[in-house]
A and B are shown apart, each in its own frame.
Chain A
C-alpha cells in the first residue's frame, strides 16, 4: 500500500463574476518534493493557492489531504492540517517584535491571561534557528531587511505546531521577488532541507532559472486550466515558456494603415521613486506597447511621465515642448491623457453623470467668458459618447451604474473629446471587460492611431500587445530592458525579456 499524496486536487473549478479563474485544475503534492507552479499573470496561480489554503472554496472538484476529503474548510482547518502559506506580500506587523509576529494570534499564555514572554522567546529562537536566522526575537520587524522579514514569515509558517501537526505542506508565492542572489541561495538551502525532512513544497515563481535550480516537478497553468505536469529534467526553459503562452493569435486585432509621423512624446532619463532611467518615444500615429510582469513598474512609468509621481531626474517633451514635472494638469494641458488601470478607483467620478465624466478634462473647450456653454458641451460630448456606442439610458446617468465596459468607453470618450490630445496612455484597457466591448476598444484604439494619435499601451496580455502595437518596450524592475518591433516579436521573446 502506497501512502496517498499530501495534497491531491482533481478538476478544481472556481469562477468569479465574469471570470472562470480555475477551469479544471489537477495537482498533486507528495512529501519530499519541490513542486513548481508556473503561468502568466492571471493564469490562476493565486486562486489555486487560495483554494489550497482554504481561503476560497472550489465550485467543483475534489480536494484531498492525505487521501481524505472534507479536511479543509477555511484557513484555520488548512493550518490544522499542516498546510502553511507564505504570501507574496509580507504580512508581518512592522511595529511588533519578531517573536510577537511569529506567534501572532497564538501567544503562549500563563495563568490564562498573562503572556509567557520567556517561553515566547525560547520558542521563537527555536523557530528562527530552523530557518537559519540568528536575530534577537525581541527585535522590531521594522528594523529587519526584506530578506530577513521573508525568513521570519517562513519561520512563522513552520512554527505553527499548535495542533498535532507541524508544517507538512509549505506554499511559497514568489518568495524571492525582493531577495538578493546570496539571500536566494540561503533560502534554497533551507527549502531543500525542508524537502529532505519530508515537507511537500509548492513553489510559485516567475523566475525560470530558480525553478530549474529547485524544482523536482513543474506544473504549468494557462487561463485557469491545467496544461501539464512533468518532471523538471524533462522540460527546458523554452518549453516551459511555450506552454505558458500556448495559444495562437486570433483575428480580433484590427490593423488599419498607420503612418507614424513626428515624435509626439519623448522621454529621456526619467527617474522617479519607482522607475529608473526611462527612455522612450511615441510617434504620432503609432501604437507603442509596454510589456512586463506585475510589479515591473509599467503603471509607475505612466505616472512618472504624467507627473503623478515626483520626477527625480530626466526630461519629458510633448511635441517638442518640455513638460513641467510638478503637476498632472500640466501634462493634460500639454496634450497627454490617461485611461487608468483601476477604472473605479482612479478613473470615474462615480456619482457624476456620463456627460460630466466625459467632458471633465476639456471643459475649457466649452467655456466662454468663464461660463460653461452646456448646449455645446452636450452636443459635442453626446456625439462622441454615441460614436463610442456607450450604452446608457441618458447622458445624466451616474457613471457608477454603467457596466465596466461602458465605463471604460466613457473614459476613452473623455480624451477623444480633447481637441489637442497628442498621446493617449491606456493602462490595461481590457481588464475585466467582456469580449464584445473588448473588441470595440481594440477597434477604437486602432482608429485613433490611424487618425494620427500617439498611443502608449500598457498591458499584461502579451497577445493584446502583439496584436495592437507597432513597437513594444519591455520593463523589468523599474527599467526598460528591451525594445522590439511588434512585427518580429513573439510572446516567447516578450516573456523571456521580462523574466
Chain B
C-alpha cells in the first residue's frame, strides 16, 4: 500500500512517455519525413499552441471545472488583437489588448460559475457560443489582415534554434509549474479540486481561487490566440474551431482527472505531444483530414475511459 498512489501517478506518466515513444518509432518507420528537423519543428510549433492554452486548462480542470470557451476565444481575441495592431501599429499594444480581453473572458466565466452558481460546462458552453457569434458579427464573417509586417514573427520567428511559440510555451510551463507546486495558490487549486466542501470549511477562499484560475486560463488562451493570429497574419472569425476539445482531450489524456484534484502539468504535456504527433503523422501518411477528426474522437473517448478507470481503482483503494 505504501506510496501506492504516488507510484500509480508515476507509472501513468511513464506509460504516456512510452506511448509517445512507440508512436514516434512507428511513424519514423512509416514516413521518412517524420524525423527530419523541419518536421520536428513543425510538431513542436503545433504542440506549443495547444500547450499554451493547455497549461491554463490544467489548472481549470484540476479544480474540478472546465472551460469550453478557449476555442472561440482564439477567434475573438485574434480579431481584437489584429484590430488594435492595425489601429495602433504597436505589437505591444495588441498583445496587451489580447491579454486584457482574455482576462475579462476568464473573469466572466469565473463569476458565472462562482457567483451565479452555473455549472462551468454550461457557463462556458454559453460563452463559447457568444464569443463565436461576436467574432462573426464584428467581422462580417470575413478575416482581417494584419498590416504590421513584424507581427508575423511572433508566431513564425525563432529564438536561436527554437520557434518563438515553443520558447513561450516552455517559459509559461515553468511559471505555472512553479505556481502549482511552490505557492500556496497551487496547493489551494489541488485542494479545491480534491474536495470543494472541505476547502470551504477549512476557510480557503474557494470562490476567489476559482475566479483566479479561470482568469489564468483566459489569459493563457488569449496568448495562444495571439500566437495563432500572428501565424495566420490575420484575425479570423473561424479560428480555433474545435480547439477547446483538442486542448481538453490532450489534458485529460495526460492524466488530469475531469473530477478535479488529480493530475500534473508534465502528464498534460505528454498528452499534448501524443495528440500533436498523431495528427502530424496522419498528415504525413496522407490520411484524409476527415479521418483526423475520427482519430481525435477515438482518442478523446479513450482518454476519458482511462480517466474513469483510474478513478474507480483509486476509489476502491482508500479504507480498503
Q: Taking the complex as formed, is B5 at the interface, i.e. its CB lies under 8 A from any CB of chain A?
A: yes
In chain A, residues 343-383, which have Cβ atoms closer than 8 Å to a Cβ of chain B? 345-352, 356, 360-361, 363-364, 367, 370-372, 374
Which of B66-74, B194-202, B215-223 lies at the binding interface? Answer: B194-202
Q: CB-defined interface of B113-145 with A at 8 Å, one 1/0 digit per residue? A: 000000000000000000000000000000000
Taking a contact as CB atoms under 8 Å apart, the answer to whether B197 and A349 are in contact is no
Which residues from chain A contact B208 at a C-beta distance below 8 Å?
A: 329
Question: In the complex, which residues of chain A have a beta carbon less than 8 angstroms from the beta carbon of B205?
Answer: 327, 329
Q: Among the listed B182, B191, B197, B201, which residue makes an inter-chain contact with A352, where contact means beta carbons less than 8 Å apart?
A: B191
A486 proximal to B (CB < 8 A): no
* Inter-subunit contact B200/A398 (CB<8 Å): no
B187 engages A360 (CB within 8 Å): yes
Q: B203 touches which one: A361, A393, A396, A401 (CB < 8 A)?
A: A361
Q: Are B202 and A401 in contact (CB under 8 A)?
A: no
Q: What are the residues of chain A within 8 A of B2 when measuring CB–CB? A: 393-394, 397
Is the beta-carbon distance between A400 and B190 smaller than 8 angstroms? Answer: no
A54 at interface, CB cutoff 8 A: no
B residues near A331, Cβ cutoff 8 Å = 203
Evaluate whether A332 and B202 lie within 8 angstroms (CB atoms) in the complex, with A345-B197, A349-B190, A350-B195 already known: yes
| Residue of B2, B183, B319 with highest tally of chain A CB at under 10 A | B319
Q: Point out the residue from A327, A346, A356, A393 that lies within 8 Å of B207, measured CB to CB.
A: A327
- Inter-chain contact B261/A356, CB cutoff 8 Å: no
Taking the nearest CB of chain B, how far is it from the CB of A265, in angstroms? 15
- Residue pair B203, A332 in contact (C-beta under 8 Å): yes
Q: Which residues of A contact B5 (CB under 8 A)?
A: 351, 398, 401
Partner of B183, one of A327, A340, A352, A372: A372
> Are A371 and B182 in contact, CB atoms less than 8 angstroms apart?
yes
User: Which residues of B are found within 8 Å of A347, using beta-carbon distances?
Assistant: 198, 201-202
Chain B residues with Cβ below 8 Å from A394 are 2-3
Known: A351-B194, A396-B3. A308 touches B317 (CB 8 A): no
Contact of A306 with B191 at beta-carbon distance under 8 Å, contacts A364-B184, A372-B183 already known: no
Across the interface, which residues of A come within 8 angstroms of B203, CB to CB? 306, 328-329, 331-333, 336-338, 361
| A226 is an interface residue with CB less than 8 A from chain B | no
> Which residues of A are found within 8 Å of B261, using beta-carbon distances?
349, 351-352
- Contacts A332-B202, A352-B191: A372 and B197 contacting too (C-beta < 8 A)? no
A46 to B187, CA, bound (A): 41
A311 on interface, CB distance cutoff 8 Å: no
Q: Mark A415-429, 1 if CB is under 8 A from B, else 0.
A: 000000000000000
Report chain B residues within 8 Å CB of A349.
190-191, 194-195, 198-199, 261
Interface size class of A (residues with CB under 8 A): 35 or more
Question: What is the minimal beta-carbon distance from B209 to any residue of chain A, in angstroms?
Answer: 10
Closest to B197 in A: A346
Closest residue of chain A to B319 (Cβ to Cβ) is A400
Q: Chain B 162-185 against A: per-residue CB contact (8 Å), 1 yes, 0 no?
A: 000000000000000000001110
Closest residue of B by beta carbon distance from A345: B197
Q: Tell yes or no: A298 within 8 A of B by CB.
A: no
Residues of B within 8 A of A471 (CB): none
Quick one: which of B198, B201, B317 has the most chain A CB within 10 A?
Answer: B201
Most buried by B among A346, A347, A349: A349
Minimum Cβ distance to chain B for residue A408 (Å):
13
Contact B183 A371 (CB under 8 A): yes
In the complex the two chains form, what is the Cα distance from A328 to B132 in whole Å? 37
The reply to whether B190 and A398 form a contact with Cβ atoms under 8 Å apart is no
Give every chain A residue within 8 A of B3 (Cβ-Cβ).
Answer: 393-394, 396-397
Question: Within the complex, what minimum Cβ distance (angstroms) separates A381 from chain B?
Answer: 12
Question: Could you tell me the distance in whole angstroms from the C-beta of B308 to the nearest C-beta in chain A?
Answer: 16
Closest CB-CB distance, B186 to chain A, in whole Å?
8
Q: Chain B residues near A348 (CB, 8 Å)?
A: 195, 198
| Contact A367:B194 (CB < 8 A) given known A308-B201, A333-B203 | no
Interface residues on B, range: 20 to 34
The complex places the Cα of A371 from the Cα of B177 at a distance, in Å, of: 12
Q: A360 — which chain B residues lie within 8 A by C-beta?
A: 187-188, 191, 202, 204
**Hey, which chain A residues are within 8 Å of B202, CB to CB?**
328, 332, 338, 347, 360-361, 414
B1 at the A/B interface (Cβ < 8 Å)? yes
Contact of A401 (CB < 8 Å), options: B194, B262, B317? B317
| Minimum C-beta distance from A225 to chain B (A) | 28
Which among A308, A347, A348, A398 has the highest number of chain B CB atoms within 10 Å? A398
Whether, in the assembled complex, B14 has its beta carbon less than 8 Å from a beta carbon of chain A, the answer is: no
Q: Which residue of B lies closest to A341 (CB)?
A: B201
- Rounded to whole angstroms, the CA-CA distance of A398 and B320 in the bound complex is 13
Chain A: which residue is nearest B194 at the CB level? A349
Q: How far is the CB of B63 from chain A (nearest CB, A)?
A: 12
- Beta-carbon nearest neighbor of B204 in chain A: A329
- Interface check B160, CB cutoff 8 A: no
A350 contacts B200, C-beta separation under 8 Å:
no
Q: Residue B6 at the A interface, CB < 8 A?
A: yes
The minimal Cβ–Cβ distance linking A336 to chain B, given in whole angstroms, is 8
Taking the closest CB of chain B, its distance from the CB of A407, in whole angstroms, is 10
Tell me the bound Cα distance from A457 to B2 in angstroms: 35
B314 at the interface (CB under 8 A from A): yes
| Pair B184/A338 contact, Cβ less than 8 Å | no
A370 engages B195 (CB within 8 Å)? no
Q: A328-B203, A337-B203, A414-B202 are in contact. Are A351 and B197 (CB under 8 A)?
A: no
Tell me whether A306 and B201 are in contact in the complex, defined as CB-CB below 8 angstroms, given that A351-B261, A396-B3, A400-B318 are known contacts.
yes
Cβ B204 vs Cβ A352 within 8 A: no
Residues in B whose Cβ lies below 8 Å from that of A329: 203-205, 208
Cross-chain contact B183 with A350 (CB below 8 angstroms): no
Q: Is the pair A363, B187 in contact by a Cβ cutoff of 8 Å? A: yes
Q: How far is the CA of A328 from the CA of B199 in the complex (A)?
A: 9
For A361, what are the chain B residues with a Cβ–Cβ distance below 8 Å?
202-204
Query: Knowing A360-B204, A372-B182 touch, does A346 contact B198 (C-beta < 8 A)?
Result: yes
User: Which residues of chain B from 1 to 47 have any CB-CB distance to chain A below 8 Å in the complex?
Assistant: 1-6
Chain B positions within 8 Å of A, measured between CB atoms, are 1-6, 182-184, 187-188, 190-191, 194-195, 197-205, 207-208, 261-262, 314, 317-319
> Mind listing 10 A-B residue pairs with CB under 8 Å?
A345-B198, A349-B195, A349-B198, A349-B261, A350-B195, A361-B203, A361-B204, A371-B182, A400-B319, A401-B319
7 tightest A-B CB contacts, nearest first? A332-B203, A400-B318, A363-B184, A349-B194, A329-B205, A328-B203, A398-B5
With A328-B202, A361-B203 given, name 13 new contacts (CB 8 A): A308-B200, A345-B195, A346-B195, A346-B197, A348-B195, A349-B195, A349-B198, A351-B261, A352-B190, A360-B204, A371-B183, A400-B318, A401-B5
